[in-house]
Homo-oligomer: A and B are copies of this chain.
Amino acid sequence: MADPTSFDTHPSRYKHWRLTTAGEIATLVMAVDDAHPHRPGYELKLNSYDLAVDIELADAIQRLRFEHPEVKCVVITADLDRVFCSGANIYMLGQSTHSFKVNFCKFTNETRLYLEDASAHSGLASLCACKGTTAGGGYELALACDEIALVDDGSSAVSFPETPLLAVLPGTGGLTRLVDKRKVRRDRADVFCTLAEGIKGKRARDWGLVDHLVSRTRWDDTIAERARALAARQTVERGPAVELPAIAPKVTADSVAYRHVSLHVDRDARTAELVVRGPAGEPVVDLTSPHTWSLHAFRELDDALLRLRFDFPEIGVVVVRTAGDPRVVVQHDELLARTKTGFAREIRLLQRRVLKRFDNTARSLYAVADRADSCFAGVLLELALGADRFYMLTDKDENIGVAISVANAGFMTTASGLTRLEARFYADPERASAVLDRGVVEPTGSAKRRKFLAEHPVGALAARKFELIPSAQAEALGLATIAADDIDFEDELRIAIEERASLSPDALTGMEASLRFVGPETLETKIFGRLSAWQNWIFTRPNSTGEHGALTLYGKPERPQFQWKRT
Interface residues of A (CB under 8 A from B): 97-99, 102-103, 162-164, 166-169, 175-176, 178-180, 182-191, 193-194, 208, 270, 313-316, 362-363, 387-390, 423-428, 478, 481, 499-500, 503-521, 525-526, 529-531, 533-538, 540-541, 543-544, 550, 560, 562-567
Contact = CB atoms under 8 A, between A and B. Distances in A.
Nearest to A509: B567
Nearest to A97: B565
Contact of A427 (B164, B208, B540): B208
Contacts of A504: 163, 167, 538, 541, 543-544, 550, 560, 562
Interface-centre pick from A208, A530, A536 (highest chain B CB count, 10 A): A530
B506 A531 contact: no
Nearest to A162: B507
Contacts of A517: 530
Nearest to A529: B530
B515 A189 contact: yes
Contact of A516 (B103, B186, B507): B186
A507 B313 contact: no
A332 to B, nearest CB: 26
A369 to B, nearest CB: 14
Copies in the complex: 2
Contact of A179 (B162, B166, B179, B518): B518
A314 B565 CA distance: 4
A538 to B, nearest CB: 5
Contacts of A424: 185-187
B514 A102 contact: no
A389 B99 contact: no
23 contacts: A103-B567, A166-B507, A169-B510, A175-B514, A185-B424, A185-B426, A186-B424, A186-B518, A187-B387, A187-B389, A190-B388, A190-B389, A191-B481, A194-B500, A194-B503, A208-B427, A504-B544, A504-B560, A520-B520, A529-B530, A533-B533, A537-B540, A540-B540
A368 to B, nearest CB: 13
Contacts of A187: 387-390, 424, 481
A567 B102 contact: yes
Contact of A506 (B190, B363, B544): B544
A537 B510 contact: yes
A194 B529 CA distance: 21
Given A313-B566, A503-B164, A567-B509, A426 B183 contact: yes
A553 to B, nearest CB: 12
A259 to B, nearest CB: 27
A566 B509 contact: yes
Nearest to A533: B533
Nearest to A367: B187
Contacts of A534: 509-510, 513-514, 533, 536
Given A169-B511, A180-B519, A362-B567, A506 B390 contact: no
Nearest to A426: B183
A5 B510 CA distance: 31
A514 to B, nearest CB: 4
Nearest to A420: B186
Contact of A533 (B163, B208, B530): B530
6 nearest CB pairs, A to B:
A521-B521, A183-B427, A510-B534, A167-B504, A533-B533, A175-B514
Nearest to A208: B427
Interface-centre pick from A98, A388, A515 (highest chain B CB count, 10 A): A515
A94 to B, nearest CB: 15
Interface-centre pick from A178, A179, A390, A504 (highest chain B CB count, 10 A): A504
B535 A510 contact: yes
Nearest to A527: B514
B510 A538 contact: yes
Contacts of A180: 426, 518-519
A486 to B, nearest CB: 21
A176 B550 CA distance: 34
A176 B514 contact: yes
Contacts of A167: 503-504, 506-507
Contact of A505 (B189, B190, B533, B565): B565
Given A180-B519, A511-B169, A533-B534, A194 B499 contact: yes
Contacts of A533: 529-530, 533-534, 537
B423 A186 contact: yes
A497 to B, nearest CB: 12
B505 A530 contact: no
A31 to B, nearest CB: 31
Contacts of A428: 183
A515 B534 CA distance: 12
A328 to B, nearest CB: 27
A514 B387 CA distance: 28
Nearest to A193: B511
Contacts of A193: 511, 515
Given A163-B503, A504-B541, 19 more contacts: A99-B566, A162-B507, A164-B503, A169-B514, A183-B428, A185-B425, A185-B427, A186-B388, A186-B424, A187-B424, A194-B503, A208-B427, A314-B565, A504-B538, A504-B560, A504-B562, A505-B564, A513-B534, A533-B533
